[in-house]
Amino acid sequence: MLNIFTPAEAQRTILRRDHWLQRELPDSLKERIRRIFGEALTPEQAVSRILLDVRSDGDAALRRWTERIDGISLQQFAVPTAQIAAAAATVHGDLLQALQLAAGRIRDFHSRQPLPDWTTTEMGGILGQRVTPLRRVGVYVPGGTAPLPSSLLMSVIPAQVAGVQEIVVATPPARSSGGDGGSVSAAILAAAHVAGIETIYTLGGAQAIAALAFGVESIPGVDKIVGPGNLFVTLAKQQVYGLVGIDGLYGPTETLVIADDSADPAWVAADLLAQAEHDVLATAILLTASRDLAQAVQYEAGRQLEQLNRGEIIAASLENQGGIVLTADLDEAARLADAFAPEHLCLDVADPPALARKIRSAGGFFFGGHSFEVLGDYVAGPSHTMPTGGTARFASPLNVLDFVRINSIVALDAATAAQLSGAAEVIAAAEQLTAHAAAARLRAVSRLRTRNQND
């Protein structure tokens, strides 16, 4: 189940970064596309068809695609606000308390992120930066097969901290509801109530992204769409980017653990199994220089798996994307981890900070066995929406900066403008932009005339 690889073997297999969107589609997905659209289409073509239909036919298209894809007939998209408030009373008290704890920690963490306005008069006149929040943001929350209230909190609260004026949520109707009307999980509604969200649309998939991006009769368009989703949600975000902003394109989730002999093999195995539980495409990998630890983790994973209710999913994930890499030392483990750039990097070693200084690329660092990734999923504080697929080389976890614009302020005085105009004219001439050069020369000449008149 958890195979042990050499570093060379791992780099050819589980540590190889083939983009997840280029993987061969399962036959079941190809058949579903053929059944829904009446012909064989690529996922990109299927998404494009939905987007174009929603753009031209608005609400009617949303209802058609929801019925065709989800098997649910929607009479209205917005969840009544009274239903959102009532959900908090229907969920188990322990869940409500857990959501409130998570919300408080997420808000506290993101409230500490600085968003500085600044100006300087040391460069001639006034130069500076102004930070302004976005006006309207759409948050996509997966929930068709399993409710994910944590994803709502992790996306909504950083936007609130940033000062976004209006935040709306789109989440698919629960598959179990069936029939007419659809419904949203009480857990998601309770999370919305805890976060103070009053607008939730019962929409999923590419059609939800289309509604948020284009705006339809019942749903105004937004400035930015954030949140993870399935393949069709991700492709839809990719295709509407430019018309609206997006936070990123998220693939299957992944955790990479680096551990030494100080780690508890039962804990390490549990963390790998928890990651593999997400879906069959999830990645859970252990890097260690200790053969004893590798074998102990291998044994523990097999033993613990027997007690878990998603055993088939976990086994498939570990068989195809997971494994244990036996490295020469921790330095080699660090080099492999840095090249892989995982979404979650768990450093279950004697000195996590020292090892972390050797690694630049990871969505989130988790130091020690007590800072395990499951806490990051729910209640630690940082958003669990993190870069996947190696994009941690250049991307960041969802944070307050995703919900603001940085405006440059330029208010130069006349003397500085005249002084800089000569250099601007030279550069403009090199670029063969004569109008640019003329505008710069005009200011320089005007300043010279004023100076001569004053003399």
CATH for 319: 3.40.50.1980
The verdict on 264 and 386 lying in the same domain is yes
335 in a structural domain: yes
154 in a structural domain: yes
DSSP 3-state assignment of 128?
A: strand
The verdict on 265 and 229 lying in the same domain is no
**Catalytic choice (300, 343, 373, 425):** 343
Asked if residue 183 lies in contact with residue 142, where contact means CB atoms within 8 angstroms, the answer is no
The verdict on 109 and 229 lying in the same domain is yes
**Catalytic choice (110, 193, 278, 344):** 344
The verdict on 159 and 90 lying in the same domain is yes
32 in a structural domain: no
The verdict on 213 and 290 lying in the same domain is no
Please count the structural domains in the chain. Answer: 3
The closest of 410, 409, 440 to 425, measured between CA atoms, is 440
What's the pTM value of the predicted model, to 2 decimals?
Answer: 0.92
The closest of 191, 187, 346, 186 to 256, measured between CA atoms, is 346
Asked if residue 448 lies in contact with residue 436, where contact means CB atoms within 8 angstroms, the answer is no
The verdict on 348 and 222 lying in the same domain is no
33 in a structural domain: no
pLDDT tens per residue across all 455 residues of the chain:
799 999 999 999 999 987 555 567 778 889 999 999 999 999 999 999 999 999 999 999 999 999 999 899 998 999 999 999 999 999 999 999 999 999 999 999 999 999 999 999 999 999 999 999 999 999 999 986 678 999 999 999 999 999 999 999 999 987 654 444 568 999 999 999 999 999 999 999 999 999 999 999 999 999 999 999 999 999 999 999 999 999 999 989 999 999 999 999 999 999 999 999 998 889 999 999 999 999 999 999 999 999 999 999 999 999 999 999 999 999 999 999 999 999 999 999 999 999 999 999 999 999 999 999 999 999 999 999 999 999 999 999 999 999 999 999 999 999 999 999 999 999 999 999 999 999 999 987 765 666 666 65
100 in a structural domain: yes
The closest of 263, 260, 286, 262 to 274, measured between CA atoms, is 286
- Compute the distance between CA of residue 47 and CA of residue 139 in angstroms, rounded to an integer: 19
From 214, 247, 280, give the residue that closes a domain: 247
The verdict on 243 and 255 lying in the same domain is no
The verdict on 199 and 299 lying in the same domain is no
From 247, 279, 295, give the residue that closes a domain: 247
- Whether 193 is a known active-site residue: answer no
The verdict on 194 and 334 lying in the same domain is no
The verdict on 207 and 299 lying in the same domain is no
The closest of 60, 431, 139, 386 to 255, measured between CA atoms, is 386
The verdict on 153 and 185 lying in the same domain is yes
Range of the domain at 135: 81-247
From 247, 270, 289, give the residue that closes a domain: 247
The verdict on 112 and 227 lying in the same domain is yes
339 in a structural domain: yes
- Whether 343 is a known active-site residue: answer yes
